[in-house]
Amino acid sequence: RDRVRGRCVRGALPVPPASLPLELPNVESYKPAGTGESPLKNAEEWMEIWYHFETGAYVPATQEKPDGDRWVRASRETNTMPQWAGSCWYYLRYMDPSNSEALASPEALEYWKAPDMYIGGAEHAVLHLLYARFWHKVLYDEGIVSTKEPFPKLFHQGMLLGEDGQKMSKSRGNVINPSVIIDRYGADTLRLYLMFLGPLEAMKPWSSNGIEGVFRFLKKVWRELVAEDGGVNPKIQDGLEDSKETEKAINEAIKKVTEDTENIRLNTAISAMMIFANHLQNSEAISLSVAKRFIQLLAPYAPHIAEELWKRLGENESITLAPWPAVDESKLVSDEARIVFQVNGKMRGQTMVPKSATEDEVMELARQEPRVQAQIEGKTVRKIIFVPGKILNIVAN
């Protein structure tokens, strides 16, 4: 109380270092106070106190004021971590979570270093990213961290809209409950579908119909690798020498999925796996090695089904411990080319031919194509335009 003017004066008093750490009270409920204040506001005997501003000692305000002029009536401030201070450095604490002496040891910080990439929505640019960068630079100036920037690379993911094309919100009633989707289709399907919707940075509307296609893809993969009795599908044969087409298909998938995953083009990586799944479905037999490499590509995208398939294919350790499959560039080279047959500039057929095929050899194949025969029968061939490895155009009248 201001003795001169006879009025109460409010001020902020820090807790003395000797009284730290301040222990929070045990409470029965963590529900909000209902006044917009912290749930701690409900712990009145801890909140409202007589406080000794020199020693930090305190007693509940429900008791009589202790003797001495250093005791003041006080109400604790519960908003002690402004601007999400705790969430601004959590990525550093993860590196050394049990350290009771420091935020993280220099050895742990040097070993783990900064996260390789920060992925978040545009709203995180203010709600987290800006503050994390601010606090990181403070820690750098204090010599606690050795890097000037917290995140070397930033990627903003697009917003997921409701089926009505509007931003998902409870007020609009267009929110999708993930638990309902998981109960019906499984977590892998939901995970895969969200990545398959489109480019990660794009704004995308949810489609309940679209998730069915992803679900069918996972069922196809299971069906092609697992027999009805739960064992390995007989078409998966250990030690089989795969055809050139299968070797080319799996290496194309490895190359595409690897590059697209590294560049966060998740939807096209999934497309590449779907293409290989079609090849798997159309093949009479493939080797166990090819089947395992395909499952390794699927694992980061659909980890649960991939782990189960990995075990059913005879592996004991987790698929996460297996090295990522390497692409064999030599398998991507083909000695065949697709030739398009044209008559008077219009496509009438196509076929695969050796790259060394001559014009006469390709012309003979064209004559055997029924749709070409129908267009040149009774006509005179005036000219043949041959582009090796691409087209054979017959000009006839």
Q: Which residues pair with 94 in a beta bridge?
A: none
Question: 323-336, pLDDT tens digit by residue?
Answer: 999 999 988 877 77
* Percent share of the chain, pLDDT over 70: 96
Largest CA distance in the chain: 122
How many Å apart are CA 280 and CA 249, to the nearest integer?
9
What pLDDT does residue 8 have?
58
Share the mean pLDDT of the chain. Answer: 88
E strand or H helix that includes residue 50: strand 48-52
Q: Which two tokens stand for residue 205?
A: 């509307």
Q: Which residues pair with 371 in a beta bridge?
A: none
Query: In terms of pLDDT, which residue wins out, 244 or 219?
Result: 219
Question: 159-179, pLDDT tens digit by residue?
Answer: 888 888 888 877 788 888 889
Q: Which two tokens stand for residue 303?
A: 């980890």
Strands 71-75 and 58-60, how do they pair?
unpaired
Question: 282-295, pLDDT tens digit by residue?
Answer: 999 999 999 999 99
For residue 88, the 8-state DSSP code is T
CB atoms under 10 Å from CB of 197, counted, come to 19
CA distances from 311 to 118, 226, 263, 279, 340 (A): 33, 11, 29, 23, 45
User: What is the per-residue DSSP string for 106-138?
Assistant: HHHHHHH-S-S-EEE-TTHIIIIIIHHHHHHHH
3 has pLDDT over 80: no
Average pLDDT over residues 292-316: 97
75: left (phi over 0), alpha (psi -120 to 50) or beta: beta
Non-local CB neighbours of 105 within 8 Å, separated by 6+ positions = 96, 99
E strand or H helix that includes residue 250: helix 244-262
Query: Confidence band (pLDDT; 50, 70, 90) for 88?
Result: confident
Lowest mean pLDDT among 49-58, 98-107, 385-394: 49-58
